[in-house]
Amino acid sequence: MTDNNFNYDSFVRNPPNPLDIDNLSLQDSLFSSTSLTSLPRNSFNISSFNINGLKMFSHNKIELLNNFFSLKQISFGDVVDTHLHPKQMHFLSKRLSNYTVFSSVLDTFQHIRSSGGPACARQLKRQVRRIFSFDSVTPSQWDDFSVHIDTLCSISPTIFASWHINRMCEYLHANIIAGANAILPARTVGNDHIPKLPKDLETLIQHYRFLNRVVHSIKLLRKHPHTLSSSYDQKWSGYLPQLNNIFYMYKSTFPAVPTLPSSLFSCRTDNFNNLFQTLSHASKLLRGLHLLKEKEFQDSSIKAHLESRDQNFDTDISSFINSALFRSHHRIMLDRVFMDHPTTPQLLTDPKDVSDAVINHFQHAVPIKSTPPSHISALPDRWRSEYSPMATVSPDIYSSLLSPPSLEEWLSTVSSMPNGEAPGPSMITYEMLKHLGLITNSLLLILVRKCFASADIPDLWRQAMIFPIPKPHEWRCQLKNTRPITLLEVIQKSFVKLFYNRLSAILATHNVLKGGNFAGLPGGTCRDLLLLLNLLFTMPITIIPLFGFFHKTSPKHLTQLILLC
């Protein structure tokens, strides 16, 4: 008999212990013909749930639901409720045959139907990426990386040079990433963080749960001995090796390793009492070991975090301050977008709709209010003279700007790029470029030279990844509460850096930019401007009356005023 009369709010705040065998019903017996053993391992059926789309922190709960689905073989017939914890759903699937739908006026429903087997809503699929652990790469691994990529790039330079730059770029990208995946250590990360238990503790929990199910099944046999059949005994012979394996694995926990009967029919004489007491005692001992191991893991985790905080005090003071003040990083998940329209607000959950909304938002986040002029002559008089060619500067000084770079110039540019930078869409990093072999570098140089000669770049270099970074306030599923960061291809950035090095050297050598009309040129400095600012703010106001104006001016406006002088 099912129980549909319970306090839902109390249930959500205080979910039941999923390991409590008293909450299991007759259908949960491992010997029952309707038990879960007829389904794939760790599976069950959910009859009805609902999606509460705009619950607070619902993106975290969606991730919990997704993780749960990825571990279980779930068949469900109606709608998924995203604000339930997995163990709450597990409990409901045992107790309620028809889970009452809890909805609100803000619910957005997406019905998901499955005929059985693995089921997971598409919008709940997490995006993962591969992160290379460069700190742990050994010199020998870098050598193997260089040799492996040179082996992959076995094409003739003459044939390679005849290709279009798009094909050349795709060939190099594919081989560099293939070499990195084959040689370099890496890990796969997702958009969420799930604390992981040690492997031995996870195994212990699984064994304890299985033993609990067996205890419950024997308890049901004591209550209903007439249900014993040959199929029960056949299933018991399958569970017996697993139980003996558990007892052997944790034999130090038991005073004496329990001895189990080979057949359930031999236990009918005492109505399964001896078997039940043996398994119950083993379950209690395993439960004690579980609590002990869990406490040890908690203590070691706390100790490790304290040691990490102490180390950060010497090596990373910013992380130490964040930890000491309990600051947490704001994270968002673009599994839904709320369109805050004044008359027709809408919550988008379909992956394609979310993607289109994100692209449209960032394409128009900074609107272009005017059309650039087609020619200098179309500019106002004030700006036409500023953008007209300078009579004192000869165009010949730029003649070497687009000349083909040498291998030494290219390698010098790549070596000057910083490590630890986030890669672009191809996931190629500066560390990889710095450890390419001679053959691969020669092919890459051919591509760079062709880009200079054609004044064009491959299409892959025109692509970028945009990561929405949350602003300090609440995310609320609104894109206006984010600011984007754009990640470009590192080969393209190295190419632009080479061009900038040439251009900046020309501008500095020939004094093209004069006065304060420059930024970042070789030999340039902001020292004089900073000294002037410091002088203006430290001198007494009574020396020159004009300085009183400076003291009342904000540093930002004062800096702009000095630059205009």
- Residues 118-153 have pLDDT tens digits of 323 333 344 567 789 898 999 999 999 999 999 999
**pLDDT for 417 beyond 90:** yes
Q: Which residues of 22-36 are buried (b: 16+ CB within 10 A; e: fewer)?
A: eebeeebbbbbeebb
**pLDDT for 515 beyond 60:** yes
**pLDDT for 494 beyond 70:** yes
- Residues 427-468 have pLDDT tens digits of 999 999 999 999 999 999 999 999 999 989 999 999 888 888
pTM of the model: 0.55
Q: What are the residues whose beta carbons fall under 8 Å from the beta carbon of 28, sequence distance 6 or more?
A: 35, 36, 94, 213, 216
CB atoms under 10 Å from CB of 503, counted, come to 14
Residue 513 phi, psi dihedral angles, 5° rounding: -100, 125
Q: Which of 176, 128, 60, 217 lies closest to 490 in space, CA to CA?
A: 176
pLDDT of residue 91: 47
**pLDDT for 312 beyond 90:** no
The residue ranking higher by pLDDT, 381 or 10, is 381
The secondary structure element, H or E, covering residue 197 is none
pLDDT confidence band for 329 (50 / 70 / 90) = confident
pLDDT of residue 491: 96
C-alpha 387 chain-centroid distance: 45
Q: What is the mean pLDDT of residues 552-561?
A: 50
- Residues 165-218 have pLDDT tens digits of 999 999 999 999 999 999 999 887 765 555 578 888 888 998 999 999 888 888
CA geometry: angle 68, 91, 238, nearest 5 deg: 80
The residue ranking higher by pLDDT, 382 or 418, is 418
CB atoms under 10 Å from CB of 248, counted, come to 10
**pLDDT for 163 beyond 90:** yes
Q: What is the mean pLDDT of residues 48-60?
A: 38
For residue 411, the one-letter residue type is L
pLDDT of residue 171: 96
Residue 509 phi, psi dihedral angles, 5° rounding: -65, -40
pLDDT confidence band for 4 (50 / 70 / 90) = very low
Q: What is the mean pLDDT of residues 311-315?
A: 86
**pLDDT for 300 beyond 50:** yes
The secondary structure element, H or E, covering residue 343 is none
* Tokens encoding 292: 């002990």
For residue 114, the one-letter residue type is S
Percent residues over pLDDT 70 in the chain: 70
35-39, 160-164, 341-345, 552-556, range with greatest mean pLDDT = 160-164
pLDDT confidence band for 27 (50 / 70 / 90) = low
The residue ranking higher by pLDDT, 229 or 43, is 229
- Residues 377-403 have pLDDT tens digits of 888 888 888 888 888 888 899 988 889
pLDDT of residue 516: 64
**What number of H helices and E strands is found in the chain?**
19, 8
Contact status, residue 203 vs residue 289, Cβ threshold 8 Å: no
Per-chain mean pLDDT for the chain: 75
Q: Out of 170-179, 324-333, 353-362, pick the least confident.
A: 324-333
Sign for the pseudo-dihedral over CA of 348, 354, 358, 361: negative
**pLDDT for 271 beyond 70:** yes
- Please state whether beta strands 73-76 and 43-46 pair in parallel, antiparallel, or not at all (unpaired): parallel
Facing residues of 481 across strands?
none
**pLDDT for 361 beyond 70:** yes
Cα–Cα distance between 217 and 31 in angstroms, integer?
A: 7
- Whole-Å CA distances, 389 to 256, 309, 355, 385, 510: 95, 58, 44, 8, 15
Sign for the pseudo-dihedral over CA of 220, 222, 224, 226: positive
